Structure 1
């Protein structure tokens, strides 16, 4: 069983988090240093999820997140930022860096556990038949079973949130999806995320799609739609 990685420079918080996570049946690996936590994550079995303090001495949590997202093995690992900075701009920056959730300190541990469960449930492979796990849109091919994306036969790495967003848009291609609907589908019921965060992730997703990015259309004032050849515009 993989560990939940915790990196935070507050020893009391580390003790509380480890105690509660282990009570829930998770294994944990905790560090007060960004350098040590990053080194462990890159040299051992990929963690199940990372809880990452933004303000760390030495290497900051932002830098740790950046390096985890830059590594092929940990790129899709869910990351939850823990931070005393709760302004909207701080949250947006966190999601721009690739965080799956952003929790403001002080927080309720039970709420954090709910968010962890929601994120891990989203990433768990669901039983699917061979005819339903592939989502196609011209040069785009997404394999939900293997959690992989190809554009023009070139594999493209996505974060878990980007993958969730694209999965929803491809599954409902041709239908306009509101920001609120995408927020609920990709982040889940327990995420306290501003709708602007959807725009941030859509922008990054469109860039990663490269030459196929034009298929992800912005519908002004409403939301987004994946437009594939032969599909008429619909609302839903």
Structure 2
């Protein structure tokens, strides 16, 4: 009936332990790949305002854009299951904040997938179709606009998970790391206005958070 205690089948705990170990490593690897991808973008010189100069800008930095594109793809592959496992781990103790946090991070992964397509169109040919200067200007604007939305969703996710991860024993600093990294994502959400060092700092804070939470996920009890 509805009030009967939950029956734990043999092997359930070991399965959860495997999930958490896998999720922890996946989050660390995904965060490292994402750091590399966003770092390459953060280190790009400012894009010229004149559309006629953007084609040269893209050509000069095509290697950085293409490498960032590849890293973003594999970051999605690693981070998406890790976020789902994180939600499964904390949803019972903190249902609302964990749902808001993890769903926001999953939306950020969706936007990261859109960035893969946008950045890929800049550097990879499609049927040999040439792009006009105005088309390149539009795609570059969409690339940075999508990055802006991604970092805002990441900020919401990290701040919400700061509430979900509170009071975690020896990991009591996880909320502080979540709130700090979330705040830096907000500050770095305007990469066309903020200096490169601030964008790099925000990206490094996100990497630190993924490593800390990944290690916590590996060591916490199911």
TM-score, normalized by the shorter chain, greater than 0.5: no
Q: TM-score, normalised by structure 1?
A: 0.27
Higher-Rg member (1/2): 2
The TM-score with structure 2 as length reference comes to: 0.28
Higher relative contact order (CA 8 A, sep 6+): 2
Larger strand fraction of residues:
1
